[in-house]
A and B are shown apart, each in its own frame.
Chain A
């Protein structure tokens, strides 16, 4: 039984009489509508499971042990259980973004009205490529964005319900639902970012958004300071509003950690970014913040305790995180300020304007009392002497990165800080080490002595890619002469904080289009070259070959998917409206994009990555992401790479594994450097385009692996694909491997290779 919205309701919701494009086969799709597309993807990119836990404890029949072929009392096996846990994670991620969008949109509708127009400026006509393609809706007002959220909420309830005991029993069907959750996630993120761009007046239709300061060194410590943590900038922006209205902008520093930081700098270029999520505890402990305002997502759950330790004031500004605090929303502002200043009380305030005013006023009042700051090396040396070099190495045992903290402490105790400095680059300040240390050594505090105090430059988030940019790069992307779009996204659970800047720069130098977002965009700014410049100062901010752009916070990831959709819709003029399969198929076969979530940690990141996968975009993950427990992999030698030639209607065995995987974990940066360019190859590459892609693949492979790539015979289709400079080496290698020319085809597509309402002609443009 499938309960779907009546066609009439869908028709009304998407205003089907409004014929801006013909309506495709899947307006406002529900789980069954795109099931076949997902199954087709899963046929090539099979789920790979790495159980993180052998058990299930979700109902009172359990715990059930699922090892060695055992099934749970409900009949579930280990593979389906993994897929089920991934769905739980994806639903968490989707609901976090969905609730964030819901709050922002409701808040902005209350302020501006539901008829408030969506206008993203001169350069962005296709305002919401995801909403158009998924739902068939062209959102015109904030009220339309609410429709998007309502559609997502409807989908979410079905998805969550499938995770209940005695529901779905197939790992593949769980994966269909995961892909559905991912699709809804990107959709609702798009709605959230559009809402905040129009509602808060963030920059749009410009590429060279301001360069803003990032790093704790950028804070003027003579001023009062409000630190905003989280992802929903409504309250942070309200702090700015209050300061502006009262001519106090030069007296109070407004800084952010995580995505709120991105978004508040889109609101005011005087706001500053402290850094990514991974520096949260570190920064809280240094006590520089006078007032902490928490909103939602990725906020430490013990902020009240940490704030008390340093004497910082705390306002929790979201219903998602109330910390058990008294609700002061209805109370008089003067009274709240007084109790916070005099008695150190912490409050939850749900009204962003009130929270903003209280934060600013309290910060000004208590700043003169602030005593804390970074400790210096001499103090750190004294503290490090407290390390008793215990034999159990408890600090290392509990460290998620197994860092040899004892070594760092020993050397620091002797006055040498280099080891500790390099450890700090790999540490994400979770604080587990000092929790276990028998001497309670303040390790995070000792780290302050080695943390750089420099100020870096980050380009503030620019939102959507411009239609005119797509017109310019569409052709070279599809032909392959721009070797790829590489998107560094996600959180900061990295093997090493410097990796992202290094990888982003390498690919920009090689004329890829490099996009960044979220914490990845921040850490990429926290590295300077010999001239003291960050990558944002060195490379142009356009969506073009050899450029580096920051789209913005996590919700702005949707614009990267949006850019791929626009290549199909604007450049190739394929109708996008309610035409998911055709557009995703185009992206999979033609748009050489690859996401890199090198430090993904959150459930949201799992959902985002899965959403990209459903659009046909592969995602490379860093080593910690193996804990997501599911990947989508092919086996290039064994698998069937047959696709349809859209023009001839013939099935063609391409023998070409491109892209090779959809969700893939990599252990080392070096290996990532050779895998990313490979995952940018597409079947549609022209010989000239493939030559360019191969020349990067070969040169990076030689640099990091020492030889020609072992799988060249899989990705060279004809001798015309071979880059001229490597021809002499490649030809003998191919001969040795018994390589034969692969069949050519003119319009590669999966349409026609699985049951679908889409007719083959629909892919011809």
Chain B
């Protein structure tokens, strides 16, 4: 696709808002961003349950593996809780997507572990339009935290987003991310 000009010098003509995601092409950088966070939170949505890769794994399984490796608490939105329990994992918190975003907006919220609000929120498995709007809320009203979208469709309203990826490449990204976090 031809490149679309994003920002001319004369900003009154801006074609889009001035704050957009940094695309993290390299899973190693993604791993280091996650590792550097002090109080990260993984928010998992229902699409992570339904999305199967060709190796039979769901994206939720990668999500849980990532969270486990860095001892990151999880938030199960929609009806994700049930599947997590079936996988033998108790979510650290259960909020619907709008509720968790509403909490995260508040800098004084104590977070799911009551240790203070989170500094990096990693999202995966949320319907695109809803995720984009929720990320927009955080972009505008939660300057105290950073957001990362692990979604193969990419999310401009996040602080960090994956590039647009084919299913195969997305799986590869997850695998590499996991390998990096294991090290």
**Chain A contact residues, CB within 8 Å of chain B:** 48-55, 62-69, 78-79, 392, 400, 402, 495, 623-624, 626-627, 629, 631, 633, 635, 638, 664-668, 670-671, 675, 704-707, 710
Contacts and interface: CB of A to CB of B under 8 A. Distances in A.
B137 interface: yes
Contact of B17 (A65, A400, A705): A65
A62 B136 contact: no
Given A67-B139, A631-B98, A667-B96, A623 B127 contact: yes
Contact of B136 (A50, A63, A665, A667): A50
Given A626-B130, A667-B130, A706-B85, A65 B11 contact: yes
A500 B103 CA distance: 30
A64 B17 CA distance: 9
Given A667-B46, A668-B78, A48 B98 contact: yes
B18 interface: yes
B56 interface: no
B79 A392 contact: no
A55 B136 CA distance: 12
A763 B13 CA distance: 55
Contact of A54 (B16, B85, B153): B16
A78 B133 contact: no
A668 B101 CA distance: 17
Given A63-B13, A626-B134, A705-B82, 7 more contacts: A53-B17, A67-B140, A68-B18, A78-B141, A638-B109, A667-B77, A668-B46
Contacts of A710: 94
A104 to B, nearest CB: 35
A386 B155 CA distance: 31
B97 A667 contact: yes
B115 interface: no
Nearest to A396: B153
Nearest to B128: A402
Given A633-B102, A675-B96, A667 B127 contact: yes
Contact of B79 (A402, A633, A668): A668
Given A65-B14, A68-B19, A68-B143, A51 B137 contact: yes
Nearest to A53: B17
B148 interface: no
Nearest to B46: A668
Contacts of A65: 11, 14, 17-18
B1 A392 contact: yes
A475 to B, nearest CB: 33
B7 to A, nearest CB: 10
B130 A706 contact: no
B81 A706 contact: yes
Contacts of B34: none
Contacts of A675: 96
Nearest to B12: A63
A50 B137 contact: yes
Contact of A52 (B1, B46, B79, B136): B136
Judged by DSSP, the binding face of A is loop
Nearest to A709: B94
A301 to B, nearest CB: 22
B156 to A, nearest CB: 10
A69 B130 CA distance: 23
A626 B102 contact: no
B79 A704 contact: yes
A666 B98 CA distance: 8
B130 A665 contact: yes
B165 to A, nearest CB: 12
B129 interface: yes
Given A49-B137, A402-B153, A710-B94, A623 B102 contact: no
A390 to B, nearest CB: 12
Given A62-B12, A65-B17, A400 B129 contact: yes
Contacts of B109: 638
Nearest to B139: A67
A582 B173 CA distance: 58
Contact of B129 (A55, A63, A626, A668): A626
15 contacts: A48-B137, A51-B136, A51-B140, A54-B17, A54-B18, A65-B18, A66-B17, A67-B139, A626-B133, A631-B98, A633-B102, A665-B130, A667-B45, A667-B97, A668-B78
A222 to B, nearest CB: 43
A54 B136 CA distance: 9
A627 B129 contact: yes
Interface string B107-144: 00100000000000000001111100110110111010
A402 B103 CA distance: 28
Contacts of B12: 62-64
A666 to B, nearest CB: 6
A664 B129 contact: no
B141 A49 contact: yes
B129 A670 contact: no
A707 B85 contact: yes
A84 to B, nearest CB: 15
B54 interface: no
Contacts of A668: 46, 78-79
Nearest to A675: B96
Contacts of A48: 98, 101-102, 105, 137
A707 B81 contact: yes
A667 B19 contact: no
Given A62-B12, A67-B17, A623-B127, A633 B140 contact: no
Interface string B73-101: 00001110110011000000010111101
B85 A67 contact: no
A382 B82 CA distance: 43
Given A49-B137, A671-B79, A706 B86 contact: yes
Nearest to B137: A50
A635 B11 contact: no
Closest 3 A-B residue pairs measured CB to CB? A54-B17, A670-B79, A706-B82
B112 to A, nearest CB: 12
Contact of A664 (B98, B130, B140): B98
Interface in B10-33: 11-14, 16-19
A538 to B, nearest CB: 26
A706 B12 CA distance: 52
Nearest to B13: A63
A666 B96 contact: yes
Residue from the set B14, B45, B78, B153 with the largest chain A CB neighbour count within 10 Å: B78
A624 B129 contact: yes
B98 A633 contact: yes
Contacts of A664: 98
Contacts of B99: 633, 635
A80 to B, nearest CB: 12
Contacts of A68: 18-19, 140, 143
A626 B141 CA distance: 16
A66 B136 CA distance: 12
A439 B161 CA distance: 31
A755 to B, nearest CB: 27
A63 B136 CA distance: 19
B54 to A, nearest CB: 14
Nearest to B81: A705
Contacts of A495: 127
B75 to A, nearest CB: 12
A665 B98 contact: yes
A402 to B, nearest CB: 6
B14 A55 contact: yes
A712 B95 CA distance: 14
Contacts of A626: 98, 129-130, 133-134
A65 B46 CA distance: 33
Contacts of B101: 48
A462 B133 CA distance: 38
